[in-house]
Copies of this chain bind each other. A is one copy, B any other.
Amino acid sequence: MSVTPSQTPVAPSERELRALDAHWRAANYLAVGQIYLMANPLLREPLRAEHIKPRLLGHWGTSPGLNLVHTHLNRVVKARDLDAICVWGPGHGGPAVLANSWLEGSYSQTYPDVTRDEAGMARLFRQFSFPGGVPSHVAPETPGSIHEGGELGYALSHSYGAAFDNPGLLVACVIGDGEAETGPLAASWHGNKFLDPVHDGAVLPILHLNGYKIANPTVLARLPEDELDALLRGYGHRPLYVGGDDPMTVHRAMAEAMDTALDLIAAIQRDARTDGSTGRPAWPVIVLRTPKGWTGPAEVDGLPVEGTWRAHQVPLDQVRDDPSHLAQLEAWLRSYRPEELFDDHGRPTPEVLAWVPAGDRRLGANPHANGGLLLRDLPLPPLERFAVPVDKPGATLHEPTRALGDLLEQVMADTADRRDFRLVGPDETASNRLQSVYAATGKAWQAGTLPVDENLTPDGRVLEILSEHTCQGWLEGYLLTGRHGLFSCYEAFVHIVDSMVNQHIKWLRTTRTLPWRAPIASLNYLLTSHVWRQDHNGFSHQDPGFVDHVLNKSPEAVRVYFPPDTNTLLATADHVLRSRDYVNVVVAGKQPCADWLTLDQARVHCARGAGIWEWAGTEDGSREPDVVLACAGDVPTQEVLAAADLIRRHLPDLRVRVVNVVDLARLMPAEEHPHGMPDAEFDALFTRDRPVVFAYHGYPWLIHRLAYRRAVHPHLHVRGYKESGTTTTPFDMVVRNDLDRYRLVMDVIDRTPGLAARAAAVRQEMADQRTRHHDWIREHGTDLPEVADWSWGS
């Protein structure tokens, strides 16, 4: 199904334009009402101070523009029976989107207590930005939204994400000229180089130039027209311009632009789908230039407001105290002629609703904007087909992410028809050794190709662009509309999307409390090319702190995994790809890594999240160990095992327990995270009073932060990355950060009561080994053979 029927609808008549204007006025009235009124919603009596909210909070400036777009989207959705959603980039214009949802009835359908009548209008007004009410932004609570719009920059990448693999969907996207200055938005214009006119839907960007941000003009609004036109054409778009401040003129122009845009989209899709056209089309973009705070107060206290930055939030802010402000507000509200827009019961009149679509076609009711409703379980193949055989621990090596790539290849193959799984990454799929997927699907690419290119196809479901922001935005949009995916990223550079993941977690935290929001697939990160193996790139590419960042957020929505080998990575991937409403962070290496566990062992270990590796320790079952060696992460696990090996040989009577942690939240108290261990379980693993030497993948104090309440905490000694990095060998990296096997043995000796004197010679030997290493690598440029070739039990 295409976005639009091929016949061009007739342009709206004057009467129809008046109906559009009535809808727009109604939405504007409702937006102002939400910002100001606690009572007297229909102005049945003269406005008095006590009708006014005590705290005036909200963003008026963008609202009339959003209302205009919604009004005209209604028209084309209804006229063409479109399956459409809209991403409202200026999401702080919450009053507008709420107003439209209330008008079309989707609000009352979602929240039955806010009825579409006078009582409901009163509730709608009062609840807005009111304690216990609804947020001032387009939020998860807003029907029809997949986008918060508080942190600007992601509207267009969310829109492309929603459109991928949704060939019947139109995604309109309002981009404010403030948002357009951000980096993520600027990058996301190039999404059209990745959108397949055959298998994907359409994105219709609507660049809203209202001229001002909070306190400044916007850059794009002040470009000469030819420069703006060149810019948009340079982005690969065909611009359509609408502008003015006379409502009926703008309505007519906007209706015409919408029709032109949708005709162009229909033609593009027909060419590609029916006529087999290839090549990248020039998709339309609408440029809408209207005054900020349009139809609001022209002047307040002698200063211009409408059409300036002063209209950004609350244009009249002394309404309760200043009678002239109050009068001005009343005149403003009455300028919309509410008596023509709402009937005696406060219901919108038929004229207002003339262009409002019905049922699921309403923008506030389209199931794509509540994507969990459309979500199907991902077909995941049996892991046995990808698991590596492990006859004994540590005897063989595999590249964990390569095995994961084989699994993903199968997922790609099994979703070839459904097209509901995407792999995204900033030009690193192959670098991260996931390239097996290319046997099942290509990399999406609509720009030109050359004979030398590999794996580029218009309909590929791997998305690669050198912009972590764009990758993240695409994947979020894809997941929020009910599909599945995985983001593979260099560990250090995932910090680029710290703020985006914040917002996504906040979204999930809120939707989890909304029964009408169906759960969506989790946002899964594979962080690889990690801190310990950035041999090519050095210090700038070493940062394991994303985990710290994520674990500050709502525990119900975040999970962090450190699979130590290939089979545990497979088991973890299987788990996270089945999960819902989480942000899952999986940290795993791409370099050859010892295989520790069979698939069955891996499944059990991952399900437990942490466990004792009996085969690695030297415990005497009858008593508690002398010391616990704990680890989380592939490289720390290797060093802990090597340390255990050294202890076994050098201090054979020391009772050592080896504990491996896959699921980091297991370390947290049970009351602080759903995966947190009860104290009894934690104590059974780590003891209450034995020294614990913990080798951790990231910043060591994170482990303290998670475990500070545990009985054993005073005896917990953590090693990890402490920002000591450069271009050097793998083993030198762990030595520089005191995470190496020799240092761990020294830690054990230093921390185990009574051991220091007895093990002084061993300790000296360990220190000597570190010196020998240091000298060797500076001489030879490689790790000592005994380190490079070390394997467990050899």
A residues near B, CB below 8 A? 38, 53-55, 57-59, 92, 129-137, 139, 148, 150-153, 178-179, 181-190, 193, 213-219, 222-224, 227-236, 304, 307-308, 313, 427-431, 443, 445, 447-450, 452-453, 456, 464-470, 492-493, 495-496, 498-499, 502-503, 506, 509-510, 535-541, 543, 545, 548-549, 552-554, 699, 701-702, 704-705, 708, 713, 723, 726-729, 732, 777-778, 780-782
Quick check: A456 and B217 within 8 Å, CB to CB? Answer: yes
Output the least CB separation between A164 and chain B (Å): 17
Output the least CB separation between A705 and chain B (Å): 4
Cβ contacts A to B, 26 pairs, < 8 Å: A54-B781, A55-B782, A57-B535, A92-B537, A136-B536, A136-B727, A139-B539, A181-B465, A181-B467, A183-B183, A183-B469, A190-B219, A215-B427, A217-B447, A222-B447, A223-B447, A232-B234, A233-B234, A304-B452, A493-B499, A498-B499, A506-B539, A506-B540, A545-B552, A553-B723, A554-B723
A58-B536, A545-B549, A708-B708 known; A182 and B187 CB under 8 Å?
Answer: yes
Output the least CB separation between A149 and chain B (Å): 8
Output the least CB separation between A786 and chain B (Å): 16
Bound-state Cα–Cα, A523 to B675, Å: 39
Bound-state Cα–Cα, A304 to B469, Å: 32
A190-B181, A428-B214 known; A233 and B222 CB under 8 Å?
Answer: no
Name A184's closest neighbour in chain B (CB-CB): B183
Quick check: B510 and A136 within 8 Å, CB to CB? Answer: no
Output the least CB separation between A333 and chain B (Å): 19
Name A176's closest neighbour in chain B (CB-CB): B466
Name A150's closest neighbour in chain B (CB-CB): B540
Residues of B within 8 A of A777 (CB): 131-132
A219-B193, A227-B236, A232-B234 known; A466 and B178 CB under 8 Å?
Answer: yes
Residues of B within 8 A of A54 (CB): 780-782
Name A140's closest neighbour in chain B (CB-CB): B539
Bound-state Cα–Cα, A464 to B726, Å: 35
Name A312's closest neighbour in chain B (CB-CB): B431
The 8 Å CB contact of A539, one of B38, B130, B186, B510, is B510
Residues of B within 8 A of A55 (CB): 535, 729, 781-782
Output the least CB separation between A477 and chain B (Å): 16
Residues of B within 8 A of A234 (CB): 223, 227-235
Q: Which 9 A-B pairs have the closest CB atoms?
A: A231-B234, A150-B540, A183-B183, A186-B186, A222-B447, A183-B187, A230-B234, A495-B499, A181-B466
Quick check: A135 and B699 within 8 Å, CB to CB? Answer: no
Residues of B within 8 A of A183 (CB): 153, 182-188, 467, 469-470
Bound-state Cα–Cα, A187 to B216, Å: 17
A135-B538, A492-B151 known; A543 and B502 CB under 8 Å?
Answer: yes
Name A542's closest neighbour in chain B (CB-CB): B506
